[in-house]
Amino acid sequence: MTERTTFFDTPLTQLRSLGPQRTELLNKELNLFTFGDLIQYYPFRYDDRSRYYTISELMDSMSSAQVRGRLREWFVEGEGPKKRLVGTFTDGTGTMSLVWFQGITYIEKTLRRDGEYIAYGKPQSFNGQFSIIHPELENTATGPAHEPGFYPVYNLTEKLRRRHLDSKAIAKAMRQLLEQAWPHIHETLPAELIEKYRLISKRDAIWNIHLPQHQGWLKQAQRRLKFEELFYNQLRLIKNKLMQKEEFPGQIFRDTTLMKHFYNELLPFELTGAQQRVIRELYADFLTGKQMNRLLQGDVGSGKTIVAFIACLMAIGNGAQACLMAPTEILADQHYNGLKPFADAMGLTIGILTGSTNKKRRVVLHEELQSGKMHVLVGTHALLEDAVQYKNLGLCIIDEQHRFGVAQRAKLWGKNETVPPHILVMTATPIPRTLAMTLYGNLDVSTIDELPKGRKPIKTVHKFDKHRSEVFGFMRQQLELGRQVYVVYPLIEESEKLDYKDLMDGYESMQRAFPRPQYEIGILHGKMLPYEKDDEMKRFLKRETQILVATTVIEVGVNVPNASVMVIESAERFGLSQLHQLRGRVGRGAEQSYCIMMTGYKLSSDTRTRLETMVRTNNGFEIADVDLQLRGPGDLTGTQQSGVMDLMIADLAKDGPILTAARESAQAILQEDPELILPQHAPVRNQVDNVRKHGNNWGRIS
Ligand code: ADP
Ligand code: MG
């Protein structure tokens, strides 16, 4: 083992084809210092020069292809930035276009009608017609023929390329390194998995990820390395989770009398099947004697609050207290007002604590919490204050989780010094399953994937700005029916002056179209003080205003059942999950609700996909999946979420099936052999030890 350690720790200067100067560049530019670093610097794509494709064989999925053929004609099209040179290229199986936007004059001079060309680049189709934009074009008569092969392309900086450290040079160094490293590369997966999933060996995978013999080997190498990466990712998460469960005891809530009383006597509707299932999952957790750490995800309006309340009743019915924390005062009020009648009917004491709770009231609250007289406390961040101490806090529920950090969660833990409270985190931003598995592998996840019966799906349409008068007409019609309307403007950065101006312009044009005294219009944005925002929101709730012009500050959780229309201005500037969240502000009452997305005419294809997805479905999980495909996992979760960002080769948007297999394998192995002591698991144990001792750096490889 030490022998292996030293080999992959060898500084890059030791590699003959690099030497000290180039090594220094690699240190500085790419943070590569050792053999291990370099060998794990995988290509980000490959140039397929291994064969020629015919035009009839081209596919959009090809990252690149070379085609042999002749130029039939070419001409300049378009004007300004759209000006381009288009050539018609043919090989007898079909035709495609070669397109240049830059260097038109020069290229046009070099083109010839006679002679054979090799065109190389990324094929793209539009209406069944393929084209390559800015192809590499060689005349076979005059140009040097490209050596046939499959070439790695590494992510390199301009500086490296200037010093002749291009992909070709790296590939050469890599070959040398791989030859030396060969005897030091050991298998890191147990034989049973390699056999079960027909994976290639670690050695073959490492070789072929850099210097693939052909496409087939490359695919196998990628699959093997992705599996390995996800397997160890899951192994770590599951191991952490098992340890966590062992470390922290939790209160047992066995008695269900109080909950059943509520369920049978007071609950005003039937729970959905999904709600019932989640309640059973929570109850099972409360019987284990271990602390619960559970994420509850459910689409907007799926009925998370009542599930949370029933969980509170389980705690209270067993002599513990519960708290429910919301990200804003409006939301805390909403929860409190919704739950108070139930609490009253059962003779329970419920309280509310927010930034605006006055001192006198606080003193009483603190006392009631400490004496145990108060059963449930609802509130905002104020719940985290040190002065808030309970007699026996048994359950903490955090609503709309993405606004809270880990540190705050830890603070809640400390509110019971004897046994940490159970934690239930609720979110209305569904996360695709693959992401949930990696991000929250150490949390248990419950899902409400069903809406209460009788909900009318929100009708969603996309309108161009030009049709504004039609939209205004529709708004008027809804307002006459007594409904209320949200109009939302993007304000990505609350300080962006232009956005602010758009919002104010919109507000004014709204005032012209919906004049007083017939209509009252409110406005809500991030520059307002908290109490101003609250006042404005309350005016809308009380129907003192009919239209609320706002930025995305209304995104989270607000419940105004009478609001039935959501107009989203400049919808092209919102992300998909944000659009869905905004839409979730309507459709909360019995009336048919509408979401109207307004945009200009210029839309990228991603934007079109976003808008079409919104129009097609109301299902948050489906939307989250599309969002993941469009944006990739990093963007979706923010860079602070490590675990996803650590992945070097696996792609959560595409590798769902591999992830599932890797997770099941990790689970099975840990179940059979939690300490990894069986001889057949030696490769796993070695790998885990290596990573623990040396960090992730080169440990993954040896
Ligand atoms: P969210 O999951 O977005 O927090 P809420 O808990 O606010 O959703 O529930 C939305 C509305 O649906 C509330 O008015 C709630 O009373 C109602 N509701 C919840 N569950 C059901 C159900 N099973 N049947 C009918 N209405 C329900
Ligand atoms: Mg909610």
- Is the domain of 572 the same as that of 475? yes
pLDDT of residue 603: 86
Cβ(452) – ligand 1 distance below 6 Å: yes
Percent of the chain with pLDDT over 70: 90
State which ligand 1 atom lies nearest to the alpha carbon of 448: 2
- Is the domain of 98 the same as that of 68? yes
- Whether 32 is covered by a domain: the verdict is yes
Tokens describing residue 133: 């934009």
- Is the domain of 312 the same as that of 407? yes
CA of 307 from ligand 2 middle (Å) equals 11
State which ligand 1 atom lies nearest to the alpha carbon of 304: 2
Tokens describing residue 481: 């029916």
CA of 586 from ligand 2 middle (Å) equals 13
CA of 292 from ligand 1 middle (Å) equals 24
The mean pLDDT value for 686-696 works out to: 72
Q: What is the DSSP string of 327-393?
A: SSHHHHHHHHHHHHHHHHHTT--EEEE-TT--HHHHHHHHHHHHHT---EEEESGGGGSTT---S-E
On the question of pLDDT at 190 being above 90, the answer is yes
CA of 326 from ligand 2 middle (Å) equals 9
Pick the last residue of a domain from 148, 165, 192.
148
pLDDT digits (tens, 9 = 90+) for 265-298: 999 999 999 999 999 999 999 999 998 989 898 8
Q: How many CB atoms lie within 10 A of CB 453?
A: 8
- Is the domain of 86 the same as that of 113? yes
Mutate to test the pocket of ligand 1, among 297, 305, 424, 455 (most ligand atoms within 8 A of CB): 305
CA of 96 from ligand 2 middle (Å) equals 53
CA of 460 from ligand 1 middle (Å) equals 21
- Whether 698 is covered by a domain: the verdict is no
How confident is residue 311, by pLDDT bands cut at 50, 70 and 90? very high
On the question of pLDDT at 163 being above 60, the answer is yes
Cβ(589) – ligand 1 distance below 6 Å: no
pLDDT digits (tens, 9 = 90+) for 15-30: 988 888 899 999 999 9
Q: Is 204 left (phi over 0), alpha (psi -120 to 50) or beta?
A: alpha
How confident is residue 696, by pLDDT bands cut at 50, 70 and 90? very low
Distance CA 148, CA 256 (A): 72
- Whether 588 is covered by a domain: the verdict is yes
CA of 337 from ligand 2 middle (Å) equals 13
Q: 65-69, 443-447, 543-547: which has the minimum mean pLDDT?
A: 443-447
pLDDT digits (tens, 9 = 90+) for 519-538: 999 998 878 887 888 888 88
Cβ(300) – ligand 1 distance below 6 Å: yes
Tokens describing residue 691: 């990573």
Distance CA 487, CA 550 (A): 6
How confident is residue 441, by pLDDT bands cut at 50, 70 and 90? low
- Name every residue whose Cβ is closer than 8 Å to that of residue 460 and which is 6 or more positions away in sequence: 583, 594, 595, 596, 597, 614, 615, 618
pLDDT digits (tens, 9 = 90+) for 607-620: 999 999 999 999 88
pLDDT of residue 4: 44
Pick the last residue of a domain from 428, 448, 468.
448
- Is the domain of 179 the same as that of 122? no
Contact between 49 and 149 under an 8 Å Cβ cutoff? The reply is yes
Tokens describing residue 214: 């052909």
pLDDT of residue 657: 87
Cβ(324) – ligand 1 distance below 6 Å: no
On the question of pLDDT at 641 being above 50, the answer is no
- Is the domain of 556 the same as that of 584? yes
pLDDT digits (tens, 9 = 90+) for 77-112: 988 888 899 999 999 999 999 999 988 989 998 898
Distance CA 130, CA 94 (A): 10
pTM of the full structure: 0.66
- Whether 679 is covered by a domain: the verdict is no
Q: Is 486 left (phi over 0), alpha (psi -120 to 50) or beta?
A: beta
- Is the domain of 286 the same as that of 356? yes
- Whether 639 is covered by a domain: the verdict is no
- Whether 654 is covered by a domain: the verdict is no
pLDDT of residue 632: 66
On the question of pLDDT at 244 being above 70, the answer is no
Tokens describing residue 634: 């990093």
User: Which residue's alpha carbon is nearest to atom 5 within ligand 1?
Assistant: 303
- Which runs of consecutive H residues, i.e. helices, occur in 542-619? 576-583, 605-616
- Is the domain of 177 the same as that of 90? no
- Is the domain of 276 the same as that of 169? no
CA of 307 from ligand 1 middle (Å) equals 9
- Is the domain of 279 the same as that of 400? yes
Total domains in the fold of the chain: 4
The mean pLDDT value for 574-595 works out to: 88
- Is the domain of 400 the same as that of 264? yes
Cβ(304) – ligand 1 distance below 6 Å: yes
- Whether 695 is covered by a domain: the verdict is no
Pick the last residue of a domain from 148, 173, 193.
148
First-to-last C-alpha distance (Å) of the chain: 9
Ligand in closest contact with the CA of 301: 1
- Is the domain of 29 the same as that of 75? no
- Which runs of consecutive H residues, i.e. helices, occur in 518-647? 530-541, 576-583, 605-616, 620-637
pLDDT of residue 400: 73
Contact between 323 and 376 under an 8 Å Cβ cutoff? The reply is yes
Q: In what order do the strands lie in the sheet with 376-379?
A: 350-353, 376-379, 321-325, 393-399, 422-427, 293-298, 444-448
- Whether 636 is covered by a domain: the verdict is no
Ligand in closest contact with the CA of 270: 1
- Name every residue whose Cβ is closer than 8 Å to that of residue 321 and which is 6 or more positions away in sequence: 315, 369, 372, 374, 375, 376, 377, 390, 391, 392, 393, 394, 395
pLDDT digits (tens, 9 = 90+) for 38-60: 999 999 888 888 889 999 999 98
Give the CA distances from residue 217 to residues 180, 198, 222, 225, 245, in Å, rounded to whole numbers and listed in that order: 21, 13, 9, 12, 42
Longest C-alpha distance within the chain, in Å?
Answer: 95
pLDDT of residue 262: 96
Distance CA 282, CA 287 (A): 9
CATH classification at residue 117: 2.40.50.140
Cβ(428) – ligand 1 distance below 6 Å: yes
Mutate to test the pocket of ligand 1, among 306, 312, 425 (most ligand atoms within 8 A of CB): 306
Ligand in closest contact with the CA of 300: 1
* Structural domain boundaries, residue 376: 257-448
Helix (H, G, I), strand (E, B) or coil at 287: coil
How confident is residue 261, by pLDDT bands cut at 50, 70 and 90? very high
CA of 452 from ligand 1 middle (Å) equals 7
CA of 398 from ligand 1 middle (Å) equals 17
State which ligand 1 atom lies nearest to the alpha carbon of 584: 3
Closest to 190 (Cα-Cα) out of 677, 689, 680: 680
Cβ(298) – ligand 1 distance below 6 Å: yes
On the question of pLDDT at 650 being above 90, the answer is no
- Report which of residues 131 and 453 the model is more confident about: 131
The mean pLDDT value for 343-371 works out to: 95
Ligand in closest contact with the CA of 401: 2
pLDDT digits (tens, 9 = 90+) for 497-515: 777 788 888 999 999 999 9
Cβ(305) – ligand 1 distance below 6 Å: yes
CATH classification at residue 553: 3.40.50.300
The mean pLDDT value for 652-657 works out to: 81
How confident is residue 578, by pLDDT bands cut at 50, 70 and 90? confident
pLDDT digits (tens, 9 = 90+) for 70-81: 999 999 998 888
